[in-house]
Structure 1
């Protein structure tokens, strides 16, 4: 089992995760506090990320920091390949409601705002009666 070691490999993980989330380079740049051109450089491995910037990118992509250093081929849960396979099995398209939730979440510009939004959503899911939560695509 190897580990990701260089900027190019980290950049590949950033690009794969960003695409899995249907996020543009502009959106990622805005959340991470850099330009889309800088995101391009990170994804190509042409520019190294500082630990602080990598932490902001991880938060924007909703992954733990160690995500960028895992061996994707090791079969560890949560790999990009598994995520992409899951999206393909599910039709790879988000519903309009899912896209709207994601769009609004991305507009939250502080970690505390994002944490509050996630907390509210988790609480809703945990405490709402199952029958009252329609499945995606149902009305």
Structure 2
């Protein structure tokens, strides 16, 4: 029993270390907030409109999106319903470890995905009704970005 208890205690200690006070926002809360902002922006909703839909202020929504405040399970469920995604959506692409989470959130690619320009481009892309036209636009952008090989292979 002693060995079993110490392995559980070790697991609890490592999980707890992700959220000690004074260390800033938890990387998982930041990831969930980024996913929340991504979905809200893709749907073209303002923070004020989404906040009203779930019964919170836009300031509280800002704190959620920045990972400064944790989202309770019931609030996350409510947000998922309003945004039309399963709760698991908020955890998709979450790196497996704390270190990987910190690296991913601080990476250049992560910052690019969080830009308004990127989100508006994705939203505009999915508004194009014809799939073939969307694909040609995608290939064009890849070629303009210097990725001619990938554009031709696709």
SS in 2 for 1:11: helix
Asked if 2 retains the 8 angstrom alpha-carbon contact of 1:31 and 1:56, the reply is: no
Superposed, 1:95-110 pairs within 5 Å as none
More helix by share: 2
CA 1:46/1:27 → structure 2, altered by over 3 Å: closer, same or farther?
A: same
CA 1:85/1:39 → structure 2, altered by over 3 Å: closer, same or farther?
A: same
User: Do residues 39 (structure 1) and 61 (structure 2) align?
Assistant: yes
- Cα displacement (A) at 1:56: 0.8
Q: How much is the aligned-residue C-alpha RMSD, in angstroms?
A: 2.6
- Cα displacement (A) at 1:40: 0.2
The normalised TM-score by structure 1 is: 0.50
CA 1:7/1:72 → structure 2, altered by over 3 Å: closer, same or farther?
A: closer
Query: For 2:68 and 2:90, how far apart are their aligned partners in 1?
Result: 16
The normalised TM-score by structure 2 is: 0.46
Query: For 2:72 and 2:126, how far apart are their aligned partners in 1?
Result: 36
Query: For 2:120 and 2:86, how far apart are their aligned partners in 1?
Result: 18
Query: For 1:68 and 1:61, how far apart are their aligned partners in 2?
Result: 11
- Please point out which of 2, 5, 21 is paired with 2:43: 21
CA 1:85/1:11 → structure 2, altered by over 3 Å: closer, same or farther?
A: same
Number of aligned residue pairs: 80
- Cα displacement (A) at 1:60: 1.3
User: Do residues 68 (structure 1) and 104 (structure 2) align?
Assistant: no
User: Do residues 89 (structure 1) and 103 (structure 2) align?
Assistant: no
User: Do residues 55 (structure 1) and 91 (structure 2) align?
Assistant: no
- Which structure has the bigger radius of gyration? 2
Query: For 1:54 and 1:39, how far apart are their aligned partners in 2?
Result: 11
Structure 1 stretches of 4+ with a deviation exceeding 6 A read none
